[in-house]
Copies of this chain bind each other. A is one copy, B any other.
Amino acid sequence: MSGSKSIEYRDASPEVRAVFDDIKTTRQVDDVNNFWKHLARDPAVLRRTWESIKEVMAPGALDPLTKEMIYLAVSVSNGCGYCIASHTAAARKAGMTDAMFGEVMAVTGMANETNRLANGYRVPIDPAFDR
């Protein structure tokens, strides 16, 4: 088995095709990304992941661009190469400008730095935070 095996629409089971079709309709795209073609190796994982993503990323109290930038910030923090590439593309499509990208990176970088400073200096939580 290849380390990286994807399933194309033409080779997919009806269950997988139904998910692919829903992704294409919801996102108005001609084909699904490699992420979905790989998850398709396990139809239950594919379906559950798509249903959750679809619900979580829909407009709500936060707009889609804000959600994509948060997704990008977490992916950058975790160092997931595929996710950084895919969510940079998705955030750009949702309206992220060069200036916004620079600020998402700056905030993500600072958060990673100060998270460690707080760890290392063993800072106790201020009582005021819970008021």
Chain A residues in the interface with B (C-beta under 8 A): 1-4, 6, 33-35, 38-39, 41-42, 44-45, 48-49, 52-53, 55-57, 60-62, 66-67, 69-89, 92, 97-126, 128-130
Contact = CB atoms under 8 A, between A and B. Distances in A.
Given A102-B42, A108-B120, A79 B78 contact: yes
Contacts of A87: 111
Which 9 residue pairs of A and B lie closest in terms of their CB atoms, listed nearest first?
Answer: A42-B102, A61-B99, A74-B111, A113-B113, A80-B115, A38-B121, A76-B120, A3-B130, A109-B113
Given A42-B98, A77-B116, A85 B33 contact: no
Contacts of A6: 123
Given A39-B121, A79-B119, A102 B48 contact: no
Nearest to A99: B61
Q: How many copies does the complex hold?
A: 6
A65 to B, nearest CB: 9
Contacts of A82: 118-119, 123-125
A25 to B, nearest CB: 18
Contacts of A111: 70-71, 74-75, 78, 83, 87
